[in-house]
Structure 1
Amino acid sequence: MTRSARPLRARIHLDAIRHNYRRAKSLAPRSRALAVVKANAYGHGAIAVARALADEADGFALACVEEALELRESGIQGPMLLLEGVFSPDEIALVERAGLAMVVHCREQLDWVLNAHPSRRLDCWIKLDTGMHRVGFSPSEFAEVNARLAACPHVGERVAMTHFARADELDHPYTSAQIEAFEQALNGARIGRSLANSAAVFAWPQAHGDWTRPGIMLYGVSPFAGAGSNASMDAGDLRPAMTLESALIAVRDLDAGESVGYGGRFVCERPTRVGVAAIGYADGYPRHACDGTPIAVGGRLTRLIGRVSMDMITLDLTGFDEARPGDPVELWGRTVPAGAVAEASDTIAYQLFTGIGRRVPLLHEDA
């Protein structure tokens, strides 16, 4: 979109995304890495992110064919995987034309592939359900599904994959059980392997396999944020890829006992200087952010006070005697961790990023 008249923008640091991708590669040096850029690169702008990674990414992972075609039409080459496969047999023609690989996770998709008549071979990733219990073949079905695809003359590369449900819980045995179930299902089959999401890239080297799938870590957020005390893995060398920023549009002084915002949720316990910033839940700032959610004004940390409105928030400027309308406000980024905002809002950074509203311009910056 064109630049907004409001002082609100999301600055996307492409150099940080490259740094984080390289970190994923360094943690699993024997694996290739698919950069997960589904959902508009987690709200960061898929075309710009893919272009920034085009010279070094081993490939890209998307949710659906529409997302992949957008990248192809913008000139992005290289391997692309459809993580949910196709939703109808008609889409296989688009997969063929765009040179995509696709996940096969159910009998319907398997039949569509086997009954297709493409002019080139189709690369298929066989999804196994080892404990996530969303989609995927049961481990007992793998041998049959793999054999049928291997015997099909128009099927090319095959990769076996699974997805972890609790890889961010470092002291829980569930991930080890999933890895064991996956390997038992494959039973030594000579086929590519892909298991590791961001958390497993860091914490489960035995799951690195042939292909990793780094997602949230590309955007500078630890995959262990909010996972509890068992999340002791150090992911501090990731660099935040988004700075969501606005500016103060008003400053006022309130007496002790005065309330702020809808419902009077926050009541001043002392004389309080209150700032108003131009952002609200219509822009993607979480409506349920609680009093005390961190915010930075002019690079100094302060806190949210009062309920989030559709277009505005209120914040505590007590002690910020020089603060004036126009001063910069960081909602999350290099000073305010997105994970801290998410925790204060009872959500996750994934939702913050993907919830950025259409009124917020994305400004892509490259160092």
Structure 2
Amino acid sequence: MRPLIATIRLEHLRHNYRLTRSIHGDKMLAVLKANAYGHGAVRCARALEDIADGFAVACLEEALELRAAGIASPILLLEGVFEAEELKAVDEHGLWMAVTSEQQLRMVEQSAPARPFNVWLMLDSGMHREGFVPASYHAAWHRLEACGKVEKISKMTHFARADEPEVAMTFSQLEAFDAAVRGLPAGDESVANSAGILCHARAQRNWGRVGIALYGVTPLPAGFEQGAELRPVMRFSSRIFGVRELAAGEPIGYGDNFVTDRPTRVGLVACGYADGYPRRASSGSPVLIDGQRSRLIGRVSMDMLTVDITDLPAAGIGSEVELWGDAVSVNEVAAHAGTIGYEPLCNVKRARFAYC
């Protein structure tokens, strides 16, 4: 078998949940959408079920996978339902759901559930992606309250730029949220995502929603101390399976986009973009080889990539390569690929997952 392993440290997951919940100070949903950001939703849910207040997923399919695995905790559908027919499953499995649009609101009004729904009513406080605009939020609330199909309504919004702590938009969104819900009956509120939990104290309402920070990756720019105690959950590693000795002036890989400037030892690593490593990662992207930092050289191929082992004379066939994890941050790799750490984590596949 290819020596490509995604090691998932479930105790790190539990640590990150406890840490972020303590910072938030109240109840918190662990976000498991996109297969728990590539970490395995069922295994992560089982590891957290005894300490988590609940879970959040994007859609019904993800929630049903957790219910089928025996997860009985509250589960929120962050995108709500897409078809009225899905409300039967929401009712049957006791799911919570967001209501983000007039279409979804009408679905609830026209439904006939066996038990009233738990609804999280989304406000568009400035991100302009989904949710009711402030001018229509009160009316939407009162329609839900009056329809007889809803037991509880929580107020919710989502930040656009909380991961940029010095940008004023988050404060503007908080002000818009507070103004929009003023005068409505008291009830649960949820505004803080991972970045909001870590560095916006005013966003710490009844329910936090921890996503990327749950997996030990800070959403904040380099230089911010918040989140320093997070522990990476995934360690993505492989091994060198071939070595080439090249003279100065020799190209490596597709496109000849890297040419050696000295005699170079090249290690061939069993991992490529079909496995989830970013194809756009540039030469110079960090790797850890047998515990020592080195770099990617040449273009990432579908099934393999090449690393510089010139200054590591002991490295060779069989040497372990940490692609990201403890010493190499996935955010660092992502920056070299012009993306964010979320993306490579969600894209990991064709690897052997080892849970510990």
Contact 2:241 2:268 in 1 (8 A): yes
Matched residues in 1 for 2:248 and 2:269: separation? 22
Q: Which 4+ runs in 1 deviate beyond 3 A?
A: none
User: Could you tell me whether the CA contact under 8 Å between 2:199 and 2:226 is conserved in 1?
Assistant: no
Which residue, out of 60, 63, 70, partners 1:65? 60
CA shift for structure 1 position 239: 0.3
Match of 2:260 in 1: 268
User: 1:301 aligns to what?
Assistant: 293
Structure 1 position 233, deviation (Å): 4.3
2:168 to 144, 168, 173: 173
Aligned to 2:108: 113
Residue deviations 1:126-175 (CA, integer Å, cap 9, x gap): 00001111110001111111111112322011101000001111121111
Contact 2:164 2:221 in 1 (8 A): no
1:198 partnered with 2:190: no
Structure 2 length-normalised TM: 0.98
Report the equivalent of 1:288.
280
Q: Does 1:20 align with 2:11?
A: no
For 1:362 and 1:146, locate their aligned partners in 2 and report how far apart those are by CA, in whole Å: 44
Q: Which amino acid aligns with 2:351?
A: V
User: What TM-score, normalized by structure 1, do the two folds share?
Assistant: 0.95
- SS of the aligned residue for 1:275 comes to strand
Q: Taking structure 1 as reference, are residues 202 and 120 closer, same or farther at Cα in structure 2, changes over 3 Å only?
A: same
Q: Are the equivalent residues in 2 in contact too, given 1:225–1:339 (CA < 8 A)?
A: no
Number of residues of Structure 1 aligned to a counterpart in Structure 2 = 355
CA contact (8 A) 1:41 1:49 kept: yes
> Given the alignment, which residue of 43, 54, 57 partners 2:49?
54
Q: Distance in 2 between matches of 1:200 and 1:263?
A: 42
Counterpart in the other structure of 2:228? 236
**Conservation of the 8 A alpha-carbon contact between 1:127 and 1:136:** yes
Deviations 1:285-336 (A, max 9, x none): 1111101000011111100000001111010001211112111111000111
Residues 246-291 of structure 1: per-residue CA shift (max 9 Å, x gap) = 1000112111111111122111111111101001111111111101
Distance between the aligned counterparts of 1:34 and 1:9, measured in 2?
28
Instruction: Look up the equivalent residue of 1:20 and give its one-letter code.
Output: N
Structure 2 match to 1:338: 330
Deviations 1:208-231 (A, max 9, x none): 1110000000011111147xxxx6
- Work out whether residues 203 and 233 of structure 1, in 8 Å CA contact, stay in contact via their aligned partners in 2: no
Coordinate RMSD, CA, aligned? 1.0
Amino acid across the alignment from 2:300: V
Give the deviation of 1:66 after TM superposition.
Answer: 0.6
Is 1:319 the equivalent of 2:314?
no
Distance in 2 (alpha carbons) for counterparts of 1:64 and 1:291 = 37
Q: Partner residue of 1:154? A: 149
Q: After superposition, what is the alpha-carbon deviation per residue over 1:73-119, rounded to whole angstroms, capped at 9, x for unaligned? A: 00011111000000011000000011101000111110110111111
Measure, in 1, the Cα distance between the counterparts of 2:94 and 2:225: 37
Deviation per residue, 1:1-43 (Å, 9 max, x gap): xxxx1011111111111111011111011x2100000000000
2:207 to 202, 206, 211: 211
Give the Cα–Cα distance (whole angstroms) in 2 for the partners of residues 245 and 256 of structure 1.
Answer: 29
**TM-aligned CA deviation for residue 191 of structure 1:** 2.1
Choose from 341, 344, 362 the match for 2:353.
Answer: 362
Which residue does the alignment assign to 1:90? 85
- Say which SS state the counterpart of residue 125 (structure 1) adopts: strand
Residue type at the aligned position of 1:309: S
The CA distance in 1 between the partners of 2:269 and 2:224, in whole Å, is 35
Change (3 A) 1:188 1:206: farther
Contact 1:283–1:311 under 8 Å retained in 2: yes
> 2-side partners of 1:234 and 1:186: how far apart?
29
Q: Secondary structure at the match of 1:257?
A: coil
CA apart distance, 1:188? 3.9
Distance in 2 between residues matched to 1:177 and 1:15, nearest whole Å? 37
